[in-house]
Structure 1
Amino acid sequence: MRTASQFIQETILHAHHVDDSAHGDIGVTRSPVRVYAWVVFALTLGLLISDYMSRQVLNAVFPLLKEVWGLSDTRLGSLSSVVAMMVGILTFPLSVLADRWGRVRSIVLMATIWSLATLGCAVSTSYDQMLAARALVGIGEAAYGSVGIALVLSIFPAYLRSTLTAAFMAGGSFGSVLGMALGGMVAAQLGWRWSFGAMAAFGFLLVLVYAAVVSEKRLASERPGEGAAARGKPAMRVSFRTLMQGLFSCRSVRCAYVGSGLQLLVPGAMYAWLPSYLNRYYAMAPGKAAVSAAGFVLATGVGMIFCGIVTDVVSKKVPQRKWLVAVLYCLLCFVSLSIALRLPPGTAQIALIGAGMFFSAGACGPSGAMVANLTPPNMHSSAFATLTLANNFLGLAPAAILTGFIADRIGLLGALQIIPFATFVSALAFLLGKRSYTADLQRLNAQRAQAAT
C-alpha cells in the first residue's frame, strides 16, 4: 500500500503543469499577469453568465407557467432543481473527461449543448417536455463551472485565488440577474417563450467568440512558472483510487466541500422563489417581480466579489483566517435573513433581505481557495468538480424543490423562514475545517516539496 508521501510524489512528478498552487498560501511569488489571461478570464466568465442566464430565466416566468399549465409549487421547483441535479450527477465524470480530452474543446461543446437545450425550452408545450429540456440544460452545464475555473486558475498566480474564484462564481449571480430581469421584461412584451429564445441566442454568440479566441496552445504559454519544455504535455492519467486520495486527502478539504455546498442552499432557494414571493406578498406583476428579484441576485454577486477581495486581504499573512471570514459571512447571512423573513412586508424587510443576500454566497471565494490549496494542481478540474458536486447536491439541487415542497404545506413565507438555517450549519463545518487547516496544509506542502527534489 502506498503512503501519502508516495502518492504526492506520483501526482507531482506526473503533473501536466506546475504552478503557484503547489505552495498553497505559503511563499507565493507575485508574478505578473498578462493581458491574454484577462481576456480568457473575461470570455470564460461570459460563458458562465450565459450558463446562469439559461438556468435562471425560468424563475422569471414561474408565475406565468403556474397559470398556463396549472403547476403546483413542487412541480415548479422541480423544473429549477432538475438542472442542479443533473449538474451534481455529471459534474465529476465530465470534468475528469475534460481534463483528458481538453478543457477548451469541452467548454465549447458544453456551451453549445446548454444553448440548444434552452432553445428547446422555448418550444416546449407541456410540463414533461419542459422538464426534459431543463434536464438537458443541466447536462450541458454539468462540468462548466469546475472546468472553467480550473482553466482560469491555471494561467493566473496563486495569490489571486480567492479573488478570482469569487469573481468567477459571482458570474453566476450576474447571469441570474440578467436571466431574471431580461427574461421578465421579454416575457412581459413578447411572451415567456421568447425569454428562453433570447438566452439561447446569447449563448450561441459567445460560443463562436470563445472558439475563435481561446486555444490550448496559447493557454500553455500563459501558465505561471512553466518553461518551454513543460508546455504542451498531456494531462496526467491516474487511477480512480489515486484520484480519490488527492481529492479527499485531509479533513479540512472535506469540510470546505461541505461548508460550501450547504451555504448555497440559501441563495439557490432565494433565486428560485424571490420573484414568486414578491408576486404573492407584495402584489407585484410577474415582470416587475422578476426585475425586482434580480436586484437581490445582483447584491449576491457584488457580495461574492467583495467577500473574495476581503478574504485575500485579511488572510495575506495568516492563511487560516480564510476559515474565520467564511464563518462570519455565513452568520451574517443567517442573522439578516432570519430577522427579515419574520418582519411584515415593507422597507425594513427588503433592506435586510438585501443584506442577507449580499453575504449569502460570500464563502464561495474562501472555499475555492481552500480546495485549490489542499489538492494537487494537476487535479484541479476534478477538485472543482467535487466542489461543484457538493454545491449542487447539498445546496443548489434541493433548494428550489425543497422550498416548493415545504411551501405547498405551510406557505412560501414559512418555507423561506426555515431555509436560512442551512448557513448556520455551514458555519459549523467551516469552524471544524479551520481546526486542522494549518497542519494539513503544512503536511501537504512538505510532501510536495519532498516529491519535487
Structure 2
Amino acid sequence: MPHSRGKGSRPAYRLYILLLLFLLNSLSYADRHLFSILIPAVKAEFGVSDSLLGLIGGPGFIISYVLCSMPLARLADRWSRRGVLALAATLWSAATAACGAAANITQLALARFAVGIGEAGGLPPSQSILASLFGEDRRSAAMGVLASGTYFGLILGLVGGAAVAAEWGWRAAFFALALPGFPLALLFWFTGPRRQRQDVAPGAGREGPSFWASVRMFWNIKSLRLIAIGVGTFNIFGYAGAVWMPAYFMRSHGMSIIEAGAWLGMGSAIGGIVGSIASGAMVDRLRVRGEHWQLRLPAIAFLLAFPQNVVMFMMPGGAGINLGGTHIPAVAMVTMLGGFLAACWAGPSFSAAARLVAQSQRAQATAMLVVIINVIGSMIGPSLSGFVSDMLMGRLGEESLRISLLIMSLLTLAGGMLFWRASTHYARDLAAREVI
C-alpha cells in the first residue's frame, strides 16, 4: 500500500503515532484492569458478593462497551478517527475518576458503565490509523506493538494500582490512573494524523453502506466471522481470568494485594508483551510461505494454552523457588507462558481484518470483532466464573475460585479449533475481497 504524502509518510512520524497509540492503549487497559485488583477492598467497604462484583467487572462494563463500539467506529470512519479517539480517551479518564468518587456500589457500577462507553471509541480508530500508516510487510508487527499495550496496561493497572491502593486506599488508585489520560488525549487531538483522501473508498459516497449492511458484509466474510467467534470463545476464560486471577492469587496462594498485583502483573505482562510483538513479526515473515499462517499461528497458541492452564490451576499454593533470597511463586512463572500464548492473536487478527475490508471500513470491521469478542467473552466470563465460585464455596471454601477457573479454561481448546478453521478460509476470502 503506498503511504500518503506529507508527514504521515515519514518513518519518524509513523513511529511517533505508534508510540502515542501504544500509550493510550496501555492507559485504557490499565483503567480496565484496575477494578480486578481492587475487588477485595471494594468488597470489604460495600459488603457485596462475588457474583455482584463479577457483574460489575463483566457486564457492567461490557454492555456499554458493546453498544457503543460500532456507532463510534462508524463515526471514526466517516468523521475523524483522531477526534473520536481523543474524545474517547477524555471520557474514559473522567469516568475512571468517577469510580474513585463513588459513594456506593450503584454509583461505582454507573461509573464503570461510563468507562465502557469511553473505551469503546479507543481500539477501532487506533487500528484503522495504523493500517493506513503501515504497509502489509510491517502491519502485523505494528499492530502487535499496539496490542502489547494491553500488557503494559496490565502492569500499570495491577502493580501500580495495588501500590497506590495499599498506601492511600482504593479510591486514590482510580484517581491516579485517571489523570494521565487527559494530557495524552489533548496531545493526540493536536498531533494525530488527519484523514487522507485515499482513506475513503472510491465511489463510496459520503454515507456509504448502512450500518446493518456493513455488519452483514463483515459477517459474510467467513474467516473474519470465525476469528471473532474464536477469540470470543477463548476469552470467556480470558476475561474471567482478567477479573478473578488477582483474587485467585490471594485466596489460593496466600498473597497480599501487593504481591498478587506484582506477580500477576509481571508474569502476564512480560509474556503478553513478548507474545504480542513476536507473533506479529513472525506472521509478517511466515505468511510469505502461505496466507494461512496469518491465522494458523494464533490457532496453535490457543490450543497450547489449555495444558498450560491445567498446570497453573492444579499447582499447590506456596509452590515456587528461592532465588537470591527472593521467593518466586511457580504460579507467576506459569502465568508468563500463559500471557505469551494468550497474546498471539491480536496483531495477526487485526491485521487480517484490515486486509479483508476496504480502507474506509477498517474501524467498523475492528469494532465488529471487538463487539463479538466481548459479547461472547466479557459478558459471560467474569459473571459465570463468579457464579460457579459462589456455588462451590460451601464445599471447597477458598479453593472454589481455583476450580471455577480451571473449568472455564476448557474453552481455550474451542477457541483454538475455531481459529484453525478460520485459517483454512482466509486465503480464499482474501482473494475474493480483492483488497489491499
Residue 260 in structure 1 maps to residue 224 in structure 2: no
Percent identity of equivalent pairs: 26
Greater mean alpha carbon deviation, residues 199-208 or residues 239-248: 239-248
Aligned partner of 1:287 among 258, 262, 277: 258
**Residue in 2 that maps onto 1:116:** 94
Measured in 2, the distance between the counterparts of 1:180 and 1:34 equals: 33
Q: How many equivalent pairs are there? A: 412
Structure 1 range deviating more: 73-82 or 340-349: 340-349
> 1:175 pairs with 153, 166, 175, which one?
153
CA RMSD of aligned residues (A): 2.5
Structure 1 pair 344/394, CA: closer, same or farther in 2 (3 Å)?
same
For 1:127-146, what aligned pairs fall within 5 Å after superposition? Answer: 127-146=105-124
Structure 1 counterpart of 2:335: 353
Which of the residues 196, 201, 204 maps onto 1:220?
196
Alpha-carbon deviation of 1:79? 2.2
Task: Please state whether the residue corresponding to 2:288 is helix, strand or coil.
Answer: coil
Larger deviation: 126-135 or 316-325? 316-325
Pairing partner for 2:48 from 67, 71, 74: 71
Task: Measure, in 1, the Cα distance between the counterparts of 2:418 and 2:140.
Answer: 19
Range 375-384 or range 204-213, more displaced: 204-213
Is residue 261–residue 394 contact of structure 1 (8 Å, CA) maintained in 2? yes
Retained in 2: the 8 A contact 1:249–1:375? no
Distance (whole Å) between structure 2 residues aligned to residue 391 and residue 33 of structure 1 = 34
Q: CA deviation at 1:215?
A: 4.3
Aligned to 1:61: 38
Question: 1:255-286: per-residue Cα shift (whole Å, max 9, x none)?
Answer: 11111222233332222112111111122222
Q: Is the 8 A contact 1:77 1:404 kept in 2?
A: yes
Q: Secondary structure at the match of 1:406?
A: helix
The correspondence for 1:341, drawn from 286, 310, 313, is 313
Q: Which residue is equivalent to 1:419?
A: 408
* 1:398 corresponding residue in structure 2: 380
C-alpha distance in structure 2 between counterparts of 1:427 and 1:319, whole Å: 18
**Paired letter, 1:110:** A
Q: Counterpart in 1 of 2:16?
A: 39
Deviation at 1:245, TM superposition (A): 4.5
* Equivalent AA in structure 2 for residue 265 of structure 1: I
Task: Give the 3 Å change call, closer, same or farther, for CA 283–138 of structure 1 in structure 2.
Answer: same
CA deviation profile, 1:385-405 (whole Å, cap 9, x unmatched): 001112211223322222111
Aligned to 1:330, which of 278, 298, 302? 302
Normalised TM-score (structure 1)? 0.85
Residue among 279, 289, 302 paired with 1:307 = 279
The 1:396–1:165 alpha-carbon spacing in structure 2 relative to 1, beyond 3 Å, is farther
**Aligned AA (1:399):** G
CA 1:283–1:107 in structure 2 vs 1: closer, same or farther (change >3 Å)? same
1:307, 1:215 → 2: CA distance?
27
Q: Is the 8 A contact 2:127 2:350 kept in 1?
A: no
Alignment CA distance shift 1:169-1:429 (3 Å)? same
Asked if structure 2 preserves the Cα contact closer than 8 Å seen for 1:334 and 1:356, the reply is no
Partner of 1:362: 344
Matches within 5 A, 1:13-28: 19=1
Alpha carbons 2:201, 2:358 under 8 Å: kept: no
Instruction: Report if aligned partners of 2:72, 2:120 keep a CA contact under 8 Å in 1.
Output: yes
In structure 1, stretches of 5+ residues that fail to align are 1-18, 22-30
TM superposition shift of 1:367: 1.6
Q: Which deviates more from structure 2 when the two are superposed, residues 235-244 or residues 170-179?
A: 235-244
Select which of 293, 297, 308 maps to 1:321.
293
Counterpart CA distance in 1 for 2:376 and 2:140 is 22
The letter of the residue matching 1:206 is L
The gaps in structure 2 that reach 5 residues or longer are: 321-329, 393-399
Q: Separation in 1 of the partners of 2:233 and 2:386?
A: 18
Alpha carbons 1:160, 1:312 under 8 Å: kept: yes
Residues 304 and 362, structure 1, Cα contact 8 Å, conserved in 2? yes
1:145-164 correspondence to structure 2 within 5 Å: 145-164=123-142
Matches of 2:23 and 2:331, distance apart in 1 = 33
Cα–Cα, structure 1 residues 366 and 332, in superposed 2: closer, same or farther, change >3 Å? same
Q: Would the aligned equivalents of 1:267 and 1:361 in 2 still touch at CA under 8 Å?
A: no
Larger displacement relative to structure 2 (234-243 or 74-83): 234-243
CA deviation after TM superposition for structure 1 residue 317, in Å: 2.9
**Offset at 1:287?**
2.3
Contact 1:300–1:361 under 8 Å retained in 2: yes
> Which letter does structure 2 place at the counterpart of 1:85?
I
Q: Which string of whole-angstrom CA distances, capped at 9 and with x for unpartnered residues, describes residues 151-197 of structure 1?
A: 12111112222212222122122112101111100011111111000
| Selected match of 1:278 from 249, 262, 281 | 249
The residue number in structure 2 matching 1:246 is 217
State the 1:33 CA deviation. Answer: 5.8
Shift of 1:236: 5.6
Deviates more, 1:415-424 or 1:206-215: 206-215
Cα offset, 1:429, TM superposition: 0.9
Query: Separation in 2 of the partners of 1:174 and 1:88?
Result: 23
Equivalent in the alignment of 2:74 = 96
- Range moving further from structure 2, 345-354 or 313-322: 345-354
Q: Using the alignment, how far apart are the partners of 2:31 and 2:210 within structure 1?
A: 35
Distance 1:409 1:198 in 2: 36
Name the SS of the counterpart of 1:115 in structure 2: helix
- SS of 2:127's equivalent? helix
Q: Which moved more, 1:382-391 or 1:256-265?
A: 256-265
CA deviation after TM superposition for structure 1 residue 316, in Å? 2.6
Letter in 2 for 1:372: A
Contact 1:263 1:361 (C-alpha < 8 Å) held by counterparts: no
Task: Note closer, same or farther for the CA distance 1:309–1:266 as it changes in structure 2 (3 Å cut).
Answer: farther
Q: Does 1:51 align with 2:28?
A: yes
